[in-house]
Structure 1
Amino acid sequence: MSRFLFVVPPLVGHINPLVGVAAALTGRGHQVAWAGLPDAVHRLAGQDARVFPSPATWTDGPERPADIRGPEALRFLWERFLVPLADAMAEGVRDAVEVFRPDVLVADQQAAAGGLVAERLRVRWATSATTSAEFADVLASMPKVAAWNEALLQELRGRIGAPDGTADPRFSPHLVLAFTTQELAGPPARGGDRIRWVGPSLAARPSPAGFPWEWFDPERAKVLVTLGTANTDVGERFLTECARALRARADRMQAVIVDPEGVVDAGSAHGDQDKDLLCVPLVPQLALLRHVDAVVCHAGHNTVCESLWHGVPLVVAPIRDDQPVIAAQVADAGAGVRVRFGRATEARIGAAVDAVLYTPGYRAAAREIGSAFRAAGGAEAAATHLELLARDDDTYTASTRAPEENAV
């Protein structure tokens, strides 16, 4: 049997897809370990997961200004988050490789230390692409920004990677696992024949208890509104406009609004006493998606893919990072309507929700993508590709084995 080391950033949406892959590999008799923030991995993968601290501690870094977009947002992401995170993770990843001696290292695209350290220590590695945005090569039309990004990667490689290395830590030269399919992502501009389209990896995950399922009215459509786990700082106006739009349609629909900060003021009491809007800090999202008819969201890749897996059409309002790319994919595939986050009003949101609920083409497209997702194989398919990579005769292994005492 083989050993697999998963290198992940402290981001829920980047750990969750690999939880199912880890379970599939473990179920086949392989050994799995993680390099990442222990609290984050244990919370999602379970307390029994073997985790090498990398980094041992981490803060979210400086607060990002809510109004930065485009190249400035990319600069902020790389200079203030991705590069510092890679530097902070590098030593822990090296220790994990030397102790665990993986046959294959699996590095998330936003955990650049994984690919760079793997190349330096001559370990065969795969990329975990939990979002398809990098396949689009959005910098192709911005050569100066692309050159700046490449220079940043070169500097990072010089500090923690192989001095003569050439690999892009976002694209393994051996295998790229894409947790989507081309029915949504479209033809890739980058990654080529290394990409394996495995579709979403959906696995059981911790869910908040006590969701009031009895609150649902079987006579009305159900709409879920969520901005994910990383956008609560900018959501007050948008969530409030959503609440107003959906309350105006209360004769024919109910809405569940994920409101962790309690910012929604829809003109009525919150909670299960309100028969039209249910505002709650957390929801059991996978379970809930089996019951809703439409989703309004920020175009986060996990939320989009989980919704489409269930054949649910979307209203997407991208905020930053990869979200505009994912929103464009949803719209191009005909599975949803895109609105502008900063300019979305009650009227625009309401019209978009009406469109995806009552124009049959959106639901048909969502179901078609969902069928493609299911056919792709998900976590089990990803596990199979990793097994094949581990069996390759040319697999590199770490040259030393240290005492197994650093895992927690």
Structure 2
Amino acid sequence: MSGFLFVVPPLTGHVNPAVGVAARLAAQGHRVAWACADPALVRRLAGADAVVFGCAGPVPGAPGAVRPPELRGAEALRFLWEWYLLPLADAMAPGVRAAVAAFRPDVVVADQQAFAGALVAEHLGLPWATSATTSAEFSGAYDGLPKVADWLGRRLAELRARIGDPAGTADPRSSPHLLLVFSTPELIGPRAPAAPHVHYAGPSLTGRPAGPDFPWDRLDPGRAKVLVTLGTANADAGTRFLGEARTALRARADRLQAVIADPAGTLTAAPDDDVLVVPSVPQLPLLAHMDAVVCHAGHNTVCEALWHGVPIVAAPIRDDQPVVAAQVVDSGAGVRVRFGRVTAARLGEALDTVLRDPAHRHAAARVRDAFRAAGGARSAAARLARLAAEGR
């Protein structure tokens, strides 16, 4: 049996896809360990008995890692890299090296935003795989932005000189050994890369911990149901949007029942069943009951909705979300609205469109079928086991 070290940033959306893969490998008798700047997060998601090597590094919400909510576009991208991703890589590198020395893995599985995992593995001559928890990097995200692409390339070269092999050439976001993409070309579109080392696993949805308590008895079987969520990292920016969403959904309460995830408690509670406002939701099981999803176009939320064949109203905020929203629209599985300028009227029109036009549901079903055929955590684990065997 082989050993696999998963190197992940302390971000729920990046740990979750790896959890199911790690569980599959462990069930097959392989050794599995993790390296992360937030060991408690990994143990909460992967299980209390997970072997986790702690690393230094900024954790979201800590001083210096809090991004101003008004940042968008290139400014938001620059902040993400300069104030989070690059400092995270520098800080994690010693811990990753120590984890490799103690655990002696056959393969390092590095999240595409945990650059330290890739650069340390390359420097030590270890096979490494990329865990691509968002497909935006492979969709021409920087086409037409040559200055941005050049700036990112220079920052990565400087990082390699500090913590990796200066003679190395691989992009730490994309392993030349194995690129695991937790999506499929049916969503990514014609730009989806095709190469022997690229494996489209589809969403990895297994091995998740139990979700929060939820008032299941309040769901009305006589009305279509809509989930509104902005993910776990956008509570600071969502107050106005959630208010407009509630107004739009209340106006359609005769035929729609909405569930709004409001982790920051920005909406005042209402003593009725027209709109259920809760701090968090058990998203995977809840999606099985939904007819539409309104979301920020986070990659995990989009893939989880489409896994259930649920069409989407995408309101991207920043980072990779505009690219993922474009994938949703181009696939036909939903429509897009402008997060910062949306009104209740416009959001209501978008919801009516995805609920009434069968083309969106048919497109969502096509992506769902592709996702399920891809194999998810099972197929990703099989490809990792093959990479380990080839490296021996």
Q: Same fold (TM over 0.5)?
A: yes
Query: Structure 1 residues 147, 191: CA separation in 2 closer, same or farther (over 3 Å shift)?
Result: farther
Shift of 1:191: 7.3
The counterpart of 2:349, out of the listed 351, 354, 359, is 351
Percent of matched pairs sharing the same residue = 64
- Alignment partner, residue 124 of structure 2: 121
Higher RCO, Cα 8 Å, sep 6+ = 1
The counterpart of 2:377, out of the listed 370, 376, 379, is 379
Contact 1:171-1:191 within 8 A present in 2 as well: no
Supply the distance in 2 between the matched residues of 1:140 and 1:339 (Cα, whole angstroms). Answer: 22
Per-residue CA distance 1:130-165 (angstroms, 9 max, x = gap) = 100010232231112211111100110011001211
- Alignment partner, residue 242 of structure 2: 239
- Alignment partner, residue 19 of structure 2: 19
The letter for the 2-side match of 1:39 is: A
Supply the distance in 2 between the matched residues of 1:364 and 1:57 (Cα, whole angstroms). Answer: 42
- Residues 156-167 of structure 1 mapped to structure 2, 5 A cutoff: 156-167=159-170
Q: Does 1:264 align with 2:267?
A: yes
- Residues 39-188 of structure 1 mapped to structure 2, 5 A cutoff: 39-55=40-56, 58-60=59-61, 61-188=64-191
Shift of 1:384: 0.5
SS of equivalent residue, structure 1 residue 312:
coil
The letter for the 2-side match of 1:343 is: R
Query: Structure 1 stretch 368-377 or stretch 63-72: which is displaced more?
Result: 63-72
SS of equivalent residue, structure 1 residue 140:
coil
Query: Structure 1 stretch 313-322 or stretch 180-189: which is displaced more?
Result: 180-189
Contact 1:176-1:191 within 8 A present in 2 as well: no
Shift of 1:72: 1.6
Query: Structure 1 stretch 349-358 or stretch 60-69: which is displaced more?
Result: 60-69
Supply the distance in 2 between the matched residues of 1:243 and 1:57 (Cα, whole angstroms). Answer: 34
Shift of 1:69: 2.1
Contact 2:35-2:96 within 8 A present in 1 as well: yes
The counterpart of 1:330, out of the listed 286, 308, 328, is 328
Contact 1:4-1:33 within 8 A present in 2 as well: yes
Contact 1:90-1:160 within 8 A present in 2 as well: yes
The letter for the 2-side match of 1:51 is: V
What count of residue pairs does the alignment treat as equivalent?
A: 389
Query: Structure 1 residues 375, 217: CA separation in 2 closer, same or farther (over 3 Å shift)?
Result: same
Supply the distance in 1 between the matched residues of 2:59 and 2:280 (Cα, whole angstroms). Answer: 23
SS of equivalent residue, structure 2 residue 217:
helix
Query: Structure 1 residues 59, 359: CA separation in 2 closer, same or farther (over 3 Å shift)?
Result: closer
Shift of 1:57: 7.0
Supply the distance in 2 between the matched residues of 1:210 and 1:115 (Cα, whole angstroms). Answer: 38
- Alignment partner, residue 313 of structure 1: 311
Contact 1:125-1:172 within 8 A present in 2 as well: yes
Contact 1:115-1:125 within 8 A present in 2 as well: yes
The counterpart of 1:360, out of the listed 352, 358, 361, is 358
Contact 1:103-1:390 within 8 A present in 2 as well: yes
Supply the distance in 2 between the matched residues of 1:314 and 1:12 (Cα, whole angstroms). Answer: 21
The counterpart of 1:254, out of the listed 237, 252, 257, is 257
The counterpart of 1:227, out of the listed 223, 227, 230, is 230
Shift of 1:73: 1.6
TM-score (norm 1): 0.93
Q: Does 1:29 align with 2:43?
A: no
Shift of 1:62: 3.5
Query: Structure 1 stretch 187-196 or stretch 36-45: which is displaced more?
Result: 187-196
Contact 2:211-2:283 within 8 A present in 1 as well: no
- Alignment partner, residue 8 of structure 2: 8
Contact 1:106-1:125 within 8 A present in 2 as well: yes
Contact 2:259-2:275 within 8 A present in 1 as well: yes
The runs of 5 or more residues in structure 2 that have no matched partner are none
Shift of 1:192: 4.2
Contact 1:137-1:190 within 8 A present in 2 as well: no
Per-residue CA distance 1:11-70 (angstroms, 9 max, x = gap) = 000000110001110111101000012111011001100001023774543422222222
Q: Does 1:390 align with 2:391?
A: no
Supply the distance in 2 between the matched residues of 1:323 and 1:166 (Cα, whole angstroms). Answer: 28
Supply the distance in 2 between the matched residues of 1:53 and 1:380 (Cα, whole angstroms). Answer: 27
The letter for the 2-side match of 1:26 is: A
Contact 1:245-1:349 within 8 A present in 2 as well: yes
Contact 1:241-1:346 within 8 A present in 2 as well: yes
- Alignment partner, residue 203 of structure 2: 200
Query: Structure 1 residues 89, 191: CA separation in 2 closer, same or farther (over 3 Å shift)?
Result: farther
